[in-house]
Structure 1
């Protein structure tokens, strides 16, 4: 088998895994630091995509539309946490039902406002060749983007006052309250950051996956399973799970079909959850 072909498959698979990771990180942050499973995460991605699309339609360059989408989804996330999530802490099933219902509301609002079909912004037509094989630049660039976002979250959680408060609130909640940490404010910020990461994903991936009311479902299922497989060490666990599941599914799809790739994803997920019911990172010493 040609080395050029293998290199092409490797880069394509890393790109697919990176896209999955970008779409998953917001969910991982909220679940890892708050213990909240946000079933509206896919709809926050959709809101980010529509926010970026709307910004470009009113004349903003795409690079400025991305922070606009992040601010929009962060604001919505803070409001949702204050009005809904805050009242449901410690009630996992109720939180899942509430966010599921919220996702349905977002979906229907998107249908009413934007319709079922929206114009895309088009992907930059840049490509590069590896031997006789050609790869698009923008999807490949997602490998670098995912790495940057991952490093940013790591630094945010380990080298900032907010990060220390957030980790203290989840790891030692009673001690955190005893030393004066306002857990409510920290939780609002955490949910807003998770929502902003979802919006960032929707905006960045807009040239690859056009905005539609149902686009969130594409990410929500695989993102949720990735976080569950990752386990309690959500950041590094999610990175490893996305690389294994997303990359493996892409490699399988390259040699066979996309349907077989999806079968690989769900089959390996089931096997990993059978072997590691608490996630692959359950026994890791690292906590982030």
Structure 2
């Protein structure tokens, strides 16, 4: 196991985990809604991106179309269905599972079992005896940029202030004049848009089918569970730790053991750190302020 191959695998795993989980982390962390349709949102982003690219739209604009299109769809789903589930975490599991089935079967009926994809752009480069896909490196940079964008949205804007207030105490936020239902709708839309962005970004690298999002679902849930409720701190820390674990096991023993390692990490974190990495960090900040 060479250092260069390990680094190559870590770049792939980190970007995959961050991009797969970031939309789910936003919706769960801010709304306490367990979105089992997350994989289908990713799949829709891939379909919108692929169909736009096949129509002659440049790939980068097609990816933006995928994110915006799924974000709009997420807003509509929230206004029609999810708004009735605020504060009902367990009920959201059943309802979003039903939404995922409707979306998946609908895409199967409309487009068939598969869709011709687009080729991976940008080629590859060689460094230190290893070959790196330029597009994979770009995905790594985009994953870090997505975390930074999430930080700006929820820490540097009025919407972010209102959303954090709503998350901490909905009743007090509402009494202070915050339209909490609108905040929830926008949050769900942002989470859906991040999922659509993920689908668009990975559309050139994977086969496009109605089950496209299934390959993202387990890793995204594990990353969110390990990270905890804070979508920014938790996702970045869990993506880094799980990326290291998965890349070492994947490079040494193969993909199967890499996935087993992710599940074992999730079990250990649930047992030892019930609030996830973000809970530990937030407790540390609270103790530091009291000193």
Q: TM-score range by the shorter chain?
A: over 0.9
Structure 2 match to 1:82: 79
Unaligned 5+ segments in structure 1 are none
1:280 and 1:49 map into 2 onto residues whose CA distance is: 30
Structure 2 match to 1:116: 113
2:138 and 2:195 map into 1 onto residues whose CA distance is: 18
Structure 1 stretches of 4+ moved >6 Å: none
Structure 1 match to 2:39: 42
Structure 2 match to 1:96: 93
Shifted more, 17-26 versus 205-214: the winner is: 205-214
Using the size of structure 1 for normalisation, the TM-score is 0.94
Give aligned pairs, total. Answer: 284
Structure 1 match to 2:61: 64
8 Å CA contact retained: 2:237, 2:277: no
How big is the shift at 1:12? 2.4
Structure 2 match to 1:266: 263
* Higher percent of residues as helix: 2
Instruction: Show CA shifts across 1:5-54 (max 9, x none).
Output: 30331132132111110111011111111111111001000000001011
Alignment partner of 1:153 is 2:150 = yes
1:125 and 1:15 map into 2 onto residues whose CA distance is: 16
Using the size of structure 2 for normalisation, the TM-score is 0.93
Instruction: Show CA shifts across 1:231-254 (max 9, x none).
Output: 122211111112211332122111
8 Å CA contact retained: 1:52, 1:66: yes
Structure 2 match to 1:144: 141
Secondary structure, in 3 states, of the residue corresponding to 2:97? helix
- What RMSD, in angstroms, separates the aligned Cα atoms of the two structures? 1.5
- The equivalences for 1:1-288 within 5 A come to 5-124=2-121, 126-285=123-282
8 Å CA contact retained: 2:117, 2:203: yes
2:237 and 2:70 map into 1 onto residues whose CA distance is: 26
